[in-house]
Structure formats: structure tokens, C-alpha cells
Amino acid sequence: MSELPLRSRPLIPGQVASWLAVLALVGAVTAASVAAFLHFRTGVSPEAARRAQQVALRAETEAKASTLLASSAKNDDGTYRIPLNEALRIAAERPEVLGKLAPAVAPAAPASSAPTAFVPADEATLKRGQAVYARTCIACHQPTGMGLPPVFPPLVESPLVTGDPSLSIKFVLHGLMGPVTVKGITYNSMMPPVMGVTDQDIADVLTYVRQSFGNKASAVTVAQVKAVRDAASGRTVPWNTAELGIK
Amino acid sequence: MTQEQRSGRPDEDRSRLSRIDAPLRAPFLLLFGSAALWLMLSSALSLLTTLKALPAGIGSYEWFAHGRLEAAARNAFVYGWAGNALFAINLWLLAQLGRFEIRNGWMASVGGLFWNLALTWCTGSVIVSGPGAYALLDFPVGAGPVLAASFALAGLWPVVAYAKRPTGHNFAAQWFVVGASVTFLLAFLLAQAAVFWAPASGVVQAVAHSWYVRTVHLLWLGGSALGLGYYFVSKVLARPLHAYYLASVAFWTYFLFAGWTAPASLIGSPVPLWIQSIGVVGSMMLLVPVLLIGLNLLGALSRDGGWFRAWNSTSLRFISIGIVSLLASLAIAAWASDRSVNAGLRFTSFAEGQNLLLLYAGVTFCVFGAAYAALPRVSGGRWPSAAAIHVHFWASTLGAAGAAFAAFAHPSAHGFISAVSAALLLIGHLAFASTAFAALLSGVPAGESQPAHD
Amino acid sequence: MKNFRYLVLGALAATALPFVGIVVGAQAQFNSLGRAPAEEGGPLMPPLEPGQAIQGRQVYLSLGCVSCHTQQVRPAGQGGDIAGALGARPSVARDYVLQPVVLLGDRRIGPDLANYGVRAKADADVHLAILHKVGGRDQFGFLYSGANHEIPSERAVMLAAYLRSLRQDYSSPEAPLK
């Protein structure tokens, strides 16, 4: 056994140094193994790439909208600050940009006009509708309303969306199944019924969708939503394109 | 290489031992006391999971969903019970083997304190907001670093103290214990990296997870238990182990092969075939250290009525059952890794039985045995009652046997027998905790050594 | 202490070598795995999940469903999954590329769910399945309200959407449908 009495052995300094050395060794092996692990992680998954693209697009849209709103709509030489083909996408994200691109539309004639006439809704309604859109529809139909072919159909240039409002109300209340063709692409996913939205929310979001992304359709009222809801009160399954006569 | 002869120890050694044991009392109380509490919590939660339908009052709450209770029980068992118990026992064992006094044992206490705080947070988070996707990796954000740092204090500090000890010789028990402690920290950090910091894509996460679980089970827990076996078999029997020259081969083959057995739990899963095959081959190769360790330990027990002496010694009784179960579980794993056998056994309760055999009947019984030897030496206290120890032994053994039968036998036997076995285990653990706390809290001051119950 | 040094290095090697061999090896093989068309020029598979299904996965995870359910179909020679109509083809790694956490599971106390979306019929059946009636009691009644647990909460709806999105009934280059 040891000759020196235990208590006088200088354990403490050596102990700490050895402990730190072991920890450093563990850290070094960890770093080396993780480096090997990360070395093979250089490729970005397609999903991550798509999401990164979306984030970049949104940031770019936001930047361009801010520029336009902060300054005049046209440059000195008469060209628009935002090219027309991009204006669609940017106006979808920030509707107030529309005010810069086109003169304010005079308020339309009162309610006696045909229900399908385009009467621009007031800014508060569009804002509320945009908020509902961002909470529910955006995951599938995307911030641009362009959807994700061939899974989620676009809300842009789609007669289903801009036509008879009761159809859109039905989709939101009960969902939709079955093949649908929009702009030449056939979609066959299932749209689930939208949960957590009141009749007012539905009216607002449909108004927003029908008057954004380049759409020019009539607004949707709470009364219309209620009417459709009451008419189909017993329904528990999504609508089928066949029974609605949609192609 | 001489072995300690307990009865023939000179007085000078006796007083030195109590000088070695005395400073361990406070860390032991904190660490082992926490371990006993975690064991009871884990047993109680496991009992709840075996009940097919909980009573209406509590069953209607989200916190008692089967998945949450089970994840909490698993965390409490592996990190709470086994972690704390191994911290305490390694501290004691390394001091014994190195025959030196641990200074700054409070470092281990501080580590243990933070380990338990972080673990309480993790377990609470599992119950309240749900487990993670992977077993034994249910950590809320921020818990990982705290656990890693506490392990560096509670698990690695005694190991380093051992390296600085006055004596020079090396014994197999130390290799296993030191190796196991060093393994865990590295495995923990790598698992955090592969699953949380830089998540791998898709099924690679499942591969990383199965590697982590197997490393924790075999290298950390199993390795520590084997170290306890190597120490106590020779110490209690008071003679050298059988074919001891093979011990270093046993150690290295065990450590170098065990990690590769992980993919055996992924046979048939959507992971590459070459990875599955590595698992099968690794499981087979692990039979080599199983054989060698069996020769060393079971060979020593089988000579000169060793089994009878084991039965009559509280600590060796538990330890010999522990070692036999551990080796049996590894042998069964080798058999079950064969593809045609695996086809029928995968996704059944067979894996639960294997885990029970390895972690409970194996590792935990070894820890029980070590505790019954260490507790009186550290605290100098007497056992409150021999009855509690008997209750503990029989309840744990019968409970484990019942649970193993329920897991390995046809699933229709599952429900009732599992519940009864889980209840037996809880009773056994209550008895054990009462014994442990009584011993730790009623101890005489350091310097007077009392005979152990052995 | 020379022995101590070898011991520490040996233990670290015993841990790191299987990690590098198995995990990093798997990473090297699968890192660039992406979606693939089921047939020539067709849409990429696996399909993107509806927004509600993505939220439903969080509900599935938080309730610990992975402890009793698997989401993997084994090949025909490795168990009776395909014969037992759990799927038309074995699961492959590509089926899981879009999942942020992979809930393969390890135990089938309940049925395998890899193709639940193919088997599920009406919404009411899905909600009944989620309720898990055992011993006359609804185990997951807290996800519903109403006298008979018939009104699903938002979480139950999201969970149902997630379960309906679980399908592997498309061809994959590694496992084409017959």
C-alpha cells in the first residue's frame, strides 16, 4: 500500500487537471464524430429547399412592398417601381399596395346592383379576411394564392372561386373531395372542412380571396354564409365534385 | 494479484476503510436516497401502465395517457434510478478498489443535485406536455446541457479521482466501471447532435436512436453491472475468479462489440439491409464476451459450493442473479437477432421481456446487491429489520419472474399477471427504500465500523 | 496512469466507432434522399401533407401514441405484415423523407398505422378509433366533449386528419407496387 499518509497526498490539483483532460477528450471525440456526421449532411432536402424558397420569396415581397409604399409609384422616367407581372404577387401579400398602383376606385352603386358585380370591399374587411387566410388557408393554398400543383389548387384565375359564392362557402364549411381541374391541371386531394371559423370569418376570408390575387369578384356576406350553412345543416361528409356537378 | 481477505484484515486496514468510507456518506445519502425515490416513482408509474383501463377518475385525464406514463417511467428508471445509484456506488466502489480517500466528494453531490433537478423537469414535462419521439431522448430544450454537465461532475469526477489514487494495481471491476462512465457522456452528446442539434433526415434518426438506446443499456448500465459483478463475486467468495487471465479479453470484446448490436432492433424496418446485418453479426459476436464473463464469474461461483455461499450472502445473492440474468439476456438477444426468429418476435412483448431481463433482473439486481454491501459500510448503521430485506428480495424476484413470464409467454397472459407483478415490484422497492433510508439516516459517526448484515 | 489513458481511449472508441460506422454510414447513404415520382412524369411521392395533418402529428407525438403503434410495414419475408393487409408493399426510407421526426415505433399493442389513411372509412370511424374504448371506457375521452364523446375538439380533428394522411399506397423506386 502507499507509504505516504493519505491526507497529505496532493490530490486536488491533479484531480481537476485530469478531470478537465477527460472532458476535453470526450469533447474532441464528440466534435470529430459530429463533424463526420455533418460532412454528409451537405445536401439540403427538397422539402427544406422548398421552405427556404418560400421564406426568401416572402421576404423579397415584403421588401418590395415596403419600398413602393414608402415612395412614389413611378420612377422619374415613368416606369413603375414594381414590374406589372410581379405586382400580382406583391398585392396579394400587401393589399394596400394596390392603392399606389391604381387610382382609388369610386364606391360602387348601392345594393340594388346585381349580386355578382364587383364591389370592392372596405379595407377593414379585407384585413380581417387576410388574417383568417393567414391562420387557415395559407398552409395549402400558399400566401400567393397560387397553391401547390398538383396537390393544392390555386385560388387565382379559378372560376370555382370567383363564380357562385355558395360553392366556396360549401367548400369551407364541409370540405371537398373528388377531381377538380383548374387551369389545365387536375387535382384530386381532399380539402378538409375549416375548423374554428365563425360565419363572419368565412364571409371575410372569402371576400378577401375573391378580391385578391387578381380576382375581381363580389364580396360574400354573413347572410349568404348562414343560408348555405342552414341549407346543408345535416351534412357530415365533405362535398363531392360529382354531386356538385363540378369538373 | 492478491484479493482482499475480509476476515483476515489487520486493524490498520479496518481504520483506513472507515476513513475511506466516511467522507462518502453525504454524497451517498443524496445520490442513493434520490435513486431509491426515483425507483419507487418508476415502479408506481409502471404499475399504472399495466392496468388496461385506469379508474374513471384519473383515466379521463391527459396526463395519464399510456404513452406519457410509460415514457416517464422509463426516464425515471434509467436516468433517475440507475443513474443516481451508479453515481453513488461507483463513488464507493472506486474508493474501495483504489483504497483511497475521496476528497471533494461534494463535487459528485453537486452534480447529482443538478442531475435530479433536470430530470424532475424532464419527467414533469413528459407528463404535462408529452414525450419526445424517441425513448430515452425526451428532453425539453435546455435540459440536455444541464444533464451533460451534471454527469461530468457526478459520473466522471469519481473516475478521475480513481486515476489519481495512491495504489497502482488494476482490477477488472475498475475497467468496466471506468469504461462505462466515460461511455455515457460521449453517447449522450452524440445522440443530442444526431437527433436534436443537426437532425438527420428521415430514418437516419431512427438509426441514431437505436444506437443510443443500445449503448446506454449495454455499455453504460450493463458495463457498470458487470463491474459490480467482478468486484463482489471475488470479494464475497474471498478468492480469485476463475480463469482470471481471460478477464481483459472479456472486457475488450464486450466493450468493442456491444455498440454494434444496436441495429438488431431494426430488423425488417425501412433501414438499409447492411445496417440490419451489422446488428445481427454484432449480437452473435457478443456471445464471445458472454462466454468469457460467464467463465470468470459463474465459474468462480460454481467451485467449492460458491452458489450456496452466494445464497447466504445478501449482496451476493442479488448479484449472482443479476449476472446470470444479464448474460442470459445477451444470449437471448443473439438468438432473437436471427431473421427468421425475429420475424415472429418483433413488435410483440418479447422485447419488453428482454429489457426486463437486462435492465431489471440484470443491472438492477446487481445494484441492489452492491447497495446492501455499501450502505452499512458508508453509514455505519445497522439494518432496521431483516424482514424488510426478505420482503424486498422475494417481492422483486417474484415480480420480475411474473413480468418476464407475461412478456415472453403468449400475449393473452399479459394483462393480469403484469399488473400483479408490477404491484409486487412496487412493494419490493418500498421495502428496499425503507431499508436504505433507515441505514443512511441512522448511521453512527465515522470511525466506528459496524459489521454489515452480510 | 498509462492504463487509465488506454481505458478512457478504449471506451471512447467503443462508443464512437459504432456511431461513425452505423449512424454516419446511414447518413451518408440517405442524406440526399428526396421524393420521387410514383410513375413516369407523375407527381412526387410521398405527397405533401395538408396543414392540419402537420398539426395532427404534434398531437400524435404529445399523446405518446408511438409507444403502442408502429408506422412501418415489413417486407414479405420478414413477418406477416403484407399478408396481414397492413400494406401493399414494404415501407422504404423514402416514405419518411418529409417527416421531421420519424415515428416508426417498436411495439404493436395497437395496429400498425402506416397505411391507416387507406383503411379508414368515415370520419366517425376514425374518431371512434381514436377514442380507444377499452373495458367500456373511452381512453382518450379528453379529446372530445358531449355526453357520448361525440363532439371532437380541434386536437381530435387534427389528429384525425393526420391519421388519414398516413398512406404508403403509391409506388416507390425501391418498392414498386405490383
Could you read off the pLDDT of B385-425 as tens digits, one per residue? Answer: 889 999 999 999 999 999 999 999 866 556 788 899 999 99
Polymer length in residues for chain B: 454
**In a 10 Å sphere around its CB, with 0-12 CB exposed, 13-18 middle and 19+ buried, how is residue B146 labelled?**
middle
Q: Which residue from B228, B229, B293 is spatially nearest to B255, judged by alpha carbons?
A: B293
Pick from B157, B167, B200: which is nearest to A19 by CB?
Answer: B157
A7 against C115, higher pLDDT: C115
Q: With DSSP H G I counted as helix, E B as strand and the rest as coil, what are the percentages for chain C, rounded to 5?
A: 40, 10, 50
Contact yes or no for A22 and B160 at CB 8 A: yes
Please provide residue A239's backbone torsions phi and psi, each rounded to the nearest 5 degrees: -70, 150
Q: Look up residue B62 and give its amino acid.
A: E
Report in angstroms the alpha-carbon separations of C89 from B192, B409, C98, C119: 33, 30, 19, 14
What whole-number distance in Å separates Cα of residue B152 and Cα of residue C58?
A: 33
Number of inter-chain CB pairs under 8 A, B vs C: 208
Establish if B60 belongs to a structural domain. yes
Tens digit of each residue's pLDDT (9 = 90 or more) over A141-172: 887 888 877 778 888 878 888 888 888 899 88
- Residue A240 forms beta bridges with which residues? A177
Contact yes or no for A40 and C9 at CB 8 A: no
Is any Cβ of chain C less than 8 angstroms from the Cβ of A5? Answer: no
What's residue A61's pLDDT?
85
Contact yes or no for C31 and A40 at CB 8 A: yes
Is any Cβ of chain A less than 8 angstroms from the Cβ of C28? Answer: yes
| Beta-strand pair A239-240/C144-145 | unpaired
What whole-number distance in Å separates Cα of residue A206 and Cα of residue A225?
A: 10
What whole-number distance in Å separates Cα of residue C132 and Cα of residue C123?
A: 15
Tens digit of each residue's pLDDT (9 = 90 or more) over C95-122: 998 888 999 999 998 899 999 999 998 8
Q: Which residue has the cell 463533424?
A: A35
Q: Enumerate the residues of chain B whose CB falls inside 8 A of the CB of residue C141.
A: 60
A84 against C89, higher pLDDT: C89
> Quick one: closest CA in B to A45, which residue?
B201
What whole-number distance in Å separates Cα of residue A212 and Cα of residue A192?
A: 22
pTM, entire model:
0.78
- Residue A148 forms beta bridges with which residues? A152
Mean pLDDT across the stretch C61-68? 94
Q: How far is B223 from chain A (nearest CA, A)?
A: 18
Q: Look up residue B360 and give its amino acid.
A: Y
Pick from B52-56, B162-166, B348-352: least confident: B52-56
What whole-number distance in Å separates Cα of residue B425 and Cα of residue B387?
A: 16
What's residue B453's pLDDT?
42
∠B312-B318-B319 over CA atoms, to 5°? 105
Confidence of residue B168 (pLDDT cuts 50, 70, 90): low
What whole-number distance in Å separates Cα of residue A30 and Cα of residue A36?
A: 10
Confidence of residue A77 (pLDDT cuts 50, 70, 90): confident
Q: Which residue from A131, A135, A108, A140 is spatially nearest to A218, judged by alpha carbons?
A: A108
3-state secondary structure of B324: helix
Contact yes or no for C79 and B344 at CB 8 A: yes
∠C98-C104-C105 over CA atoms, to 5°? 150
What whole-number distance in Å separates Cα of residue A107 and Cα of residue B454?
A: 97
C-alpha cell of B15?
481504520
Residue B110 neighbours by CB distance under 10 Å: 16
Number of alpha carbons in the 13 Å side-chain half-sphere of residue A101: 20
What whole-number distance in Å separates Cα of residue B350 and Cα of residue C79?
A: 15
**What are the counts of helices (DSSP H) followed by strands (DSSP E) for chain B?**
22, 0
What's residue A111's pLDDT?
45
Q: How far is C163 from chain B (nearest CA, A)?
A: 16
- Chains touching C, CB cut-off 8 Å, 3+ pairs: A, B
Residue B414 neighbours by CB distance under 10 Å: 18
Longest Cα pair distance anywhere in chain B, in angstroms?
64
Query: Is the ipTM of this structure higher than 0.85?
Result: yes
Q: Look up residue A73 and give its amino acid.
A: A
What dihedral do alpha carbons B152, B158, B160, B162 form, nearest 10°?
-170
Mean pLDDT across the stretch A102-124? 60
**Choosing among B160, B186, B212, which should be mutated to test the A contact, i.e. which has the most A CBs within 10 A?**
B160
Is any Cβ of chain C less than 8 angstroms from the Cβ of A22? Answer: yes
Tens digit of each residue's pLDDT (9 = 90 or more) over B179-210: 999 999 999 999 999 998 888 778 999 999 99
The domain ranges of chain C are 1-32, 38-164
Pick from C31, C43, C98: which is nearest to A41 by CB?
Answer: C31
Average predicted confidence (pLDDT) for chain B: 88
Contact yes or no for C8 and A25 at CB 8 A: yes
Q: How far is B226 from chain A (nearest CA, A)?
A: 23
What whole-number distance in Å separates Cα of residue C25 and Cα of residue A37?
A: 9
Ramachandran sector of residue C105 (left: φ over 0; alpha: ψ -120 to 50; beta: rest): left
Report in angstroms the alpha-carbon separations of C36 from A152, A180, B194, B268, C33: 18, 23, 25, 22, 9
Report in angstroms the alpha-carbon separations of A144 from A96, A130, A201, B64, C167: 15, 12, 20, 43, 29
For chain B, the domain total comes to 1
Average predicted confidence (pLDDT) for chain A: 79
What whole-number distance in Å separates Cα of residue B426 and Cα of residue C32?
A: 49
> Quick one: closest CA in C to A194, which residue?
C52
What whole-number distance in Å separates Cα of residue A207 and Cα of residue A201?
A: 10
Q: How far is C175 from chain A (nearest CA, A)?
A: 21
3-state secondary structure of C172: strand
CATH of domain C38-164: 1.10.760.10
Sequence-distant (6+) residues with CB within 8 A of B124 are none
Pick from A115-119, B205-209, B370-374: least confident: A115-119
Establish if B6 belongs to a structural domain. no
Contact yes or no for B346 and C79 at CB 8 A: yes
Q: Enumerate the residues of chain C whose CB falls inside 8 A of the CB of residue A152.
A: 48
Is any Cβ of chain C less than 8 angstroms from the Cβ of B178? Answer: yes
Is any Cβ of chain B less than 8 angstroms from the Cβ of A40? Answer: no
- Three-state secondary structure string covering B49-101: HHCCCCCHHHHCCHHHCHHHHHHHHHHHHHHHHHHHHHHHHHHHHHHHHHCCC
Q: Enumerate the residues of chain C whose CB falls inside 8 A of the CB of residue B271.
A: 26, 93
Q: How far is C26 from chain B (nearest CA, A)?
A: 6
Polymer length in residues for chain C: 178
**What are the counts of helices (DSSP H) followed by strands (DSSP E) for chain A?**
11, 4
3-state secondary structure of B2: coil
What's residue B8's pLDDT?
38
Range of the domain at B341: 11-441
Contact yes or no for B269 and C140 at CB 8 A: no
Tens digit of each residue's pLDDT (9 = 90 or more) over B259-287: 999 999 999 999 999 999 999 999 999 99
C-alpha cell of B226?
458487470
C-alpha cell of A18?
485530469
Contact yes or no for A40 and C124 at CB 8 A: no
C-alpha cell of B196?
436534436
> Quick one: closest CA in C to A138, which residue?
C51
Report in angstroms the alpha-carbon separations of B186 from A24, A140, B117, B182, C9: 11, 42, 21, 7, 12
Q: Identify the CATH number of the domain in which residue B369 sits.
A: 1.20.210.10
Is any Cβ of chain A less than 8 angstroms from the Cβ of B167? Answer: yes
Is any Cβ of chain B less than 8 angstroms from the Cβ of A39? Answer: no
Establish if B51 belongs to a structural domain. yes
Sequence-distant (6+) residues with CB within 8 A of A30 are B186, B189, B190, B193
What's residue B197's pLDDT?
87
**Choosing among C19, C55, C162, which should be mutated to test the A contact, i.e. which has the most A CBs within 10 A?**
C19
Number of inter-chain CB pairs under 8 A, A vs C: 66
| pLDDT tops 80 at residue A78 | no
Tens digit of each residue's pLDDT (9 = 90 or more) over B76-110: 999 999 999 999 999 888 888 877 777 777 888 99
| Beta-strand pair A239-240/A176-177 | parallel
**In a 10 Å sphere around its CB, with 0-12 CB exposed, 13-18 middle and 19+ buried, how is residue A23 labelled?**
middle
Q: Enumerate the residues of chain B whose CB falls inside 8 A of the CB of residue C139.
A: 53, 59, 65-66
Q: Which residue from C25, C39, C24, C29 is spatially nearest to C92, judged by alpha carbons?
A: C29
Q: Enumerate the residues of chain A whose CB falls inside 8 A of the CB of residue C8.
A: 22, 25
Q: Which residue has the cell 438509426?
A: B207
Confidence of residue A17 (pLDDT cuts 50, 70, 90): confident
